[in-house]
Amino acid sequence: MDSPSFDRARADRLARHISALTYPTFYCIPVLIIISAALLPWPDWAAVAAVCIFFATVVPVSIVLAFTSRTHRGQLDIHEREARLFPLLAIIPSYAMGYASLYAMSAPAAIQCLMLCYTINTAFVLAVSLFWKISIHAVGVSGPAVAMTYVFGSIGIVLMLMIPMVMWSRVHLKKHTVAQVIAGASSALTITTLVFLVMT
């Protein structure tokens, strides 16, 4: 029989892997590529996906790394609530420019909506982070889950299964409380659903 300490170590490893694999600015890459490829022919989908990844991943990651290079040894996961404020504020314009670029390219509505949702969800996270540490990981998996469900129907719902897994991992690693992960997931699910209903 496994000892409690061994079980704890395995749970710790699993939680760290889940948390790393669902880091929001990287988690969106396969989602953006899959939706773009499903809605557009080659090479149009590659061009749209490239724009999405640049504004949703390359720029945000660069901003976070630049900010944390002196304060957090270049770590992407910023744990302190106060330390999140400037990176979040700097990232919002990148998402907004991504949405504007997709609109100018006449990209499919679902892709435009998803990028707009990143903008709005991040602005919401920034507002909440002024006084409370909401879970960005929970936000980052919940929004794409709505988009995938909108595009692919019941198949996309499978991505919803990632939400409780991520919520568990963040609480297990003591990065968030249960309330903080629930707030992150529920707010992103609500905002993203409303945006898709209004704009599509």
Mean model confidence pLDDT for the chain: 92
CB 65 within 8 A of CB 76: yes
User: So what's the pLDDT on residue 85?
Assistant: 92
User: So what's the pLDDT on residue 1?
Assistant: 45
Domain ranges in the chain are 4-199
Average pLDDT over residues 132-145: 96
User: So what's the pLDDT on residue 73?
Assistant: 60
Residue 191 has pLDDT above 50, yes or no: yes
CB 18 within 8 A of CB 165: yes
More confident residue, 160 or 200: 160
User: So what's the pLDDT on residue 80?
Assistant: 83
Residue 172 has pLDDT above 90, yes or no: yes
User: So what's the pLDDT on residue 155?
Assistant: 82
Q: How far apart are CA 196 and CA 65, in angstroms?
A: 31
Give the closest residue to 25 by CA, choosing from 48, 50, 57, 51: 57
What's the pTM value of the predicted model, to 2 decimals? 0.91
Q: How far apart are CA 6 and CA 167, in angstroms?
A: 22
